[in-house]
Amino acid sequence: MKKTIYYLLGAVALVAGLLAWQWHERDALQQRLEDLRRGNAKQAAALKAASAPKKVPDEQSDREEEIAAAVRAALAMPAGPERDTALNAAQLWNLKPNDALEVLPYFSGTRPREEALRDIFGNWAKTDPAAAVAASAKLPDKMDGYYAQKAIVLTWREAQPGAALAWVQTLPDGVFKAASIGGIATEWATNDLPGVRAWLQQAAPGTAWDTVFRAASAKWASEDPKAALDYVTRLPSNPLVNDTIASVVTAYAKTDAAGAAPYVTQIPDAKSQATAALAVGIAWAAKDQPAAQAWALSLPEGDTREYATAGVAKGWSTKDQLAALTWVQGMPVGDTRDRSLYTIMSFPFSLGYPQLTANIAATMQPGDAQQIAYKVVAGDWAETNPESAMQWVSGLPAGALRDTTTYALATGLYGNRALTAAQFAEAAPLITAIQSSKWRKDGIIQLAIGWFRVDYPAAAAWVNQTDLPEADKKALFEDNPEKK
């Protein structure tokens, strides 16, 4: 009997010992957590969120416990870049969003904090964008709110662009709102053009409608410009629609100028019509000059015909400069002829026939177009045949046109790396003879910089003899010291 009692007492003692050991381990774990909590009052919320039991399936519970353990380990580290890296490596976005946000105050660096916000709110927007939006609005730091909303937009627009757009429209006007609307519109048009067109039919006019319409039209024009034109030309006329028609016509002309041409005259706005006519003329003449020329000349007198003809001249010049210039030379003096030459020269263009171009420019009507033509001739000619260019400029009558042309000559001479010291010296009197003080000063500086390269003493002596203001002389010499 006594032996049985001893056995029972031993069993009770063993059970009591096991229970005491478990209680000790539990108390030790609680004490470690409490020690961390006492270390930082704010840290308590993060530790509580990370260590709280989760009523989720075992697999998810295990995953969250792994993250919580990683967070606890990171928070035990000193503040700094290493702790920031460890916190982001813990994959906070896999926690419940509100729990993850409790960790934000413990980031030291701006970029790691931004990365955390991006991941948390981007992931949150996949499952509950409305809750993510509400939480972003409550963030006390303005920049935190910005990064959070940016992440929401980037995620939400992929799955529900219409809903994302509706939310963005409620935001205050500014750069972020405009950029977000543009991003949504572009991605939506790229991925779901029919959905965009359906939205346009029922959406209210405004900035968002205009942005989405532009994006949709651009995308549609790249895929099926004729269908896009059939759609946009049926819309009520307004500046945006008219500009869009011109843009789509331009896109269509790149692949089928003959097909795009009939739409030019359907554009209600004269300016947009002229822009489209120019684009069609350029594209068509590059492939079929006779057909393009016949179309341009068949248009009624006015800006549209003028721009179409100018476009033909430009398109033709890319294939045969001499033929295009000869055709322009034979046109009657007037706006169409002037614009045709100006169009050829206003594009990136290697002028192969400066004397012919100069002859045509001389018969242009006085004005900006003629001035630009003269400047292009002078600058290009100075690089290809400086002696002829200087001779031409020296024969121009004194006045504003000669002043700007001579300055352009100086710029071209400066860019001519083959120019000799003697040629720079020959050009010097032309520059100092410029009547306009502004163009004379700028011309002296341009010629001097080029001249310094080949004969610094001669160039410096010439500069000192000019009427260039002393402050400009000093700056010129300081910026271009003689190389010993």
pLDDT per position as a tens digit, 144-195: 999 999 999 999 999 999 999 999 999 999 999 999 999 999 999 999 988 9
Q: Classify burial at 389, counting beta carbons within 10 Å of its beta carbon; exposed 0-12, middle 13-18, buried 19 or more.
A: buried
The upper half-sphere exposure of residue 3, i.e. CA atoms within 13 Å in the direction of its Cβ, equals 0
Q: Which tens digit of pLDDT belongs to each residue from 101-128? A: 988 899 999 999 999 999 999 999 999 9
Please say whether the dihedral angle defined by the alpha carbons of residues 427, 433, 435 and 439, taken in this order, is positive or negative.
Answer: positive
Task: Say how many residues make up the chain.
Answer: 484
The predicted pLDDT at position 348 comes to 53
Pick the closest to residue 280 from 259, 294, 301, 300 (CA basis): 259
Please say whether the dihedral angle defined by the alpha carbons of residues 220, 224, 229 and 235, taken in this order, is positive or negative: negative
Cα distance between the two ends of the chain: 118
Predicted pLDDT at 39: 43
| Residue-level pLDDT at 117 | 93
CA 117 to CA 95: how far, in whole Å?
Answer: 13
pTM, two decimal places: 0.64
Per residue, the 3-state secondary structure of the chain, as one string, reads CHHHHHHHHHHHHHHHHHHHHHHHHHHHHHHHHHHHHHHCCCHHHHHHHHHCCCCCCHHHHHHHHHHHHHHHHHHCCCCCHHHHHHHHHCCHHHCCHHHHHCCHHHCCCHHHHHHHHHHHHHHHHHHCHHHHHHHHHHCCCHHHHHHHHHHHHHHHHHHCHHHHHHHHCCCCCCHHHHHHHHHHHHHHHHHCHHHHHHHHHHCCCCHHHHHHHHHHHHHHHHHCHHHHHHHHCCCCCCHHHHHHHHHHHHHHHHHHHHHHHHHHCCCCCHHHHHHHHHHHHHHHHHHCHHHHHHHHHHCCCCHHHHHHHHHHHHHHHCCCHHHHHHHHHCCCCCHHHHHHHHHHHHCCCCCCCHHHHHHHHHCCCCCHHHHHHHHHHHHHHHHHCHHHHHHHHHCCCCCHHHHHHHHHHHHHHHHCCCCCHHHHHHHHHHHHCCCCHHHHHHHHHHHHHHHHCCCHHHHHHHHHHCCCCHHHHHHHHHHCCCCC
Contact in structure between 261 and 292 (CB atoms under 8 Å): no
Residues of the chain under the 50 pLDDT cut: 1-44, 46-47, 49-51, 53-56, 484
Domain chopping of the chain, boundaries = 1-35, 350-484
Evaluate the CA torsion angle 171, 172, 173, 175 in order and state its sign: negative
pLDDT at 350 (0 to 100) = 59
Angstrom CA distances, 122 to 116, 145, 403, stand at 10, 13, 61
> For the chain, what is the mean pLDDT?
85
Q: How many CB atoms are located within 10 Å of the residue 318 CB?
A: 14
Condensed to tens digits (0 to 9), the pLDDT of residues 246-302 reads 999 999 999 999 999 999 998 888 998 999 999 999 999 999 999 999 999 999 999
Sequence-ordered list of residues with C-beta below 8 angstroms from that of 411, at least 6 positions apart, any chain: 379, 382, 446
Cα–Cα dist 68/54, whole Å: 11
The Cα 441–Cα 449 span in angstroms is 13
Q: Which amino acid is at 327?
A: W
What is the amino acid identity at position 319? Answer: K
Closest CA to 317 of 329, 306, 304: 329
Spell out the long-range contacts of 290-293 with Cβ–Cβ below 8 A and sequence spacing 24 or more. 291/258, 292/257, 292/316, 293/327
